A and B are shown apart, each in its own frame.
Chain A
């Protein structure tokens, strides 16, 4: 039909290479999440702070991250900053772009989670002699992370899928970049991208299942 002959063997022979790419994809996603969570906690604290300027910076970050395309954010991290003479490798630019996006979305999730924690929890901590920061660290933060756990899982899935945007800034070591290069070599377009799609699907499924297992172990209460 349509004169296209499937040649799965040719494509499948490239599977090991694609799996190498999947590992890089996972590296970017995991790193962008770890740094993203740390930054999101910082943004959450800034948004709670009394200083108008700090609140403004945090709010601006969240607004841009949530209301512009992820592609724009990655582009700016590569070609945008290059205009000012700052040059990052495609790997670093992709990582920065996705991390920026993660931090913005997660900070918004954290803000919602904070609203679900009664103000009296901090009060109870303070009345035991804890500083504001100690009360946040030991009482609020663990509860906030628990409430945000499912949204965080979603963001992790989203981070994996966003790595595919790396090709636009010259990233060719990740799953999508490698697939694109292989396609240029072999022209087995449908087969290669179908395999890539399946790999993305498997990765995200493993993440959601893994998250469920972690949640069951971590959240005993």
Chain B
């Protein structure tokens, strides 16, 4: 379970998160929508401790992420994150990209790590690209590789930060399909996205962020069908 309690976060004078409260249960899929600068991506990087927070608490399975005593390297093993820019490691093959962390972080031997990586790469439809270098892959393929790379660590949670935003339109579908598949398999996910149809289809709950505040959260039918807040309505009207 991920518990976010009254989290505040600023970059210099800019207040990005102004008191966020959100609890995500095991197996739940929560999508976060909202305009740019609403703080939704920042929230994800705070959850896995890549960014410090100013006040409040974030607990992952009861462990406080930003506590001094927390071993972040250990904690991050159970929180996979995939970014808008997929960040493939260009000097490694697709297979090596995926086996690197299991081998070096978890200490799994090469053969076993390769078996895990192959399984995950097949899972995302890249079974025939194992020895290819990322530069030979399309953006969509690289993004799916990044998803497999995160999954190879057997995380309990997956965070997706606008994973389709940097892709050519015709490549968006294949990545969303992968995310949908994960959701159906019961993965606990928080997805920051601009893909409204996707949010409606796969989410258990949809949260709308506006200027650092979670303006509204609810079932997708409610958020898309009967938004309560003025800002939510305005936002949804603007993206339709």
The reply to whether chain A is a binding partner of chain B is yes
Write out the residue numbers on chain B whose beta carbons fall within 8 Å of the beta carbon of A129.
Answer: 73-74, 76-77, 101, 105-106, 153
Write out the residue numbers on chain B whose beta carbons fall within 8 Å of the beta carbon of A143.
Answer: 90-91
Write out the residue numbers on chain A whose beta carbons fall within 8 Å of the beta carbon of B134.
Answer: 221
Q: Per-residue 0/1 for A106-118: is the Cβ within 8 Å of any B Cβ (1 yes, 0 no)?
A: 0000000000001
Write out the residue numbers on chain A whose beta carbons fall within 8 Å of the beta carbon of B81.
Answer: 127
Write out the residue numbers on chain B whose beta carbons fall within 8 Å of the beta carbon of A142.
Answer: 91
Partner of B73, one of A124, A131, A220: A131
Write out the residue numbers on chain B whose beta carbons fall within 8 Å of the beta carbon of A130.
Answer: 73, 101, 104-105
* Nearest CB in chain A: distance from B83 CB, A: 7
Determine the residue in chain A with the shortest Cβ distance to B75: A129
* Nearest CB in chain B: distance from A50 CB, A: 15
- Say yes or no: is B224 at the interface (Cβ < 8 Å to chain A): no
- Say yes or no: is B85 at the interface (Cβ < 8 Å to chain A): yes
A221 in contact with B77 given A129-B105, A130-B101 (CB within 8 Å): no
Write out the residue numbers on chain B whose beta carbons fall within 8 Å of the beta carbon of A66.
Answer: none
A121 in contact with B87 given A130-B101, A134-B105, A221-B133 (CB within 8 Å): yes
- Say yes or no: is A146 at the interface (Cβ < 8 Å to chain B): yes
* Nearest CB in chain A: distance from B136 CB, A: 9
Write out the residue numbers on chain A whose beta carbons fall within 8 Å of the beta carbon of B85.
Answer: 118, 120
* Nearest CB in chain B: distance from A208 CB, A: 23
Partner of B100, one of A138, A220, A221: A138
Partner of A221, one of B83, B90, B146, B153: B90
The CA of A125 and the CA of B81, in the complex, are separated in Å by 11
A146 in contact with B50 given A124-B83, A129-B74 (CB within 8 Å): no
Interface size class of A (residues with CB under 8 A): 20 to 34
Partner of A120, one of B76, B83, B100, B106: B83
**A127 and B135 contact, CB distance less than 8 A:** no
Q: Give residues 83-114 of B contacting A (CB, 8 Å).
A: 83, 85, 87, 89-91, 100-101, 104-106
Partner of A128, one of B74, B90, B91, B150: B150
- Say yes or no: is A150 at the interface (Cβ < 8 Å to chain B): no
- Say yes or no: is B40 at the interface (Cβ < 8 Å to chain A): no
Write out the residue numbers on chain B whose beta carbons fall within 8 Å of the beta carbon of A87.
Answer: none
- Say yes or no: is A17 at the interface (Cβ < 8 Å to chain B): no
**B76 and A127 contact, CB distance less than 8 A:** yes
Write out the residue numbers on chain A whose beta carbons fall within 8 Å of the beta carbon of B149.
Answer: 128
Write out the residue numbers on chain B whose beta carbons fall within 8 Å of the beta carbon of A127.
Answer: 48, 50, 76, 80-81, 150
Write out the residue numbers on chain B whose beta carbons fall within 8 Å of the beta carbon of A128.
Answer: 76, 100-101, 105, 149-150, 153
Q: Per-residue 0/1 for A179-205: is the Cβ within 8 Å of any B Cβ (1 yes, 0 no)?
A: 000000000000000000000000000
* Nearest CB in chain A: distance from B100 CB, A: 6
Write out the residue numbers on chain A whose beta carbons fall within 8 Å of the beta carbon of B90.
Answer: 143, 221
Residue in B76, B100, B104 with the greatest tally of chain A CB atoms within 10 Å: B104
The CA of A126 and the CA of B73, in the complex, are separated in Å by 7
Write out the residue numbers on chain B whose beta carbons fall within 8 Å of the beta carbon of A138.
Answer: 100, 104
- Say yes or no: is A211 at the interface (Cβ < 8 Å to chain B): no
The CA of A142 and the CA of B91, in the complex, are separated in Å by 7
* Nearest CB in chain A: distance from B50 CB, A: 6
**A146 and B101 contact, CB distance less than 8 A:** no
Write out the residue numbers on chain B whose beta carbons fall within 8 Å of the beta carbon of A131.
Answer: 73
Write out the residue numbers on chain B whose beta carbons fall within 8 Å of the beta carbon of A126.
Answer: 50, 73, 76
**Chain B interface residues (CB < 8 Å from chain A):** 48, 50, 73-74, 76-77, 80-81, 83, 85, 87, 89-91, 100-101, 104-106, 133-135, 146, 149-150, 153
Further 6 A-B residue pairs, CB within 8 A, beyond A124-B87, A124-B146, A129-B77: A118-B87, A130-B104, A134-B104, A138-B104, A139-B100, A221-B90
In the A-B complex, list the 6 residue pairs whose CB atoms are closest, starting with the nearest.
A124-B87, A128-B101, A221-B133, A129-B77, A129-B105, A129-B76
10 contacts between A and B (CB under 8 A): A118-B85, A123-B87, A126-B73, A129-B74, A129-B76, A134-B105, A138-B100, A138-B104, A139-B89, A146-B91
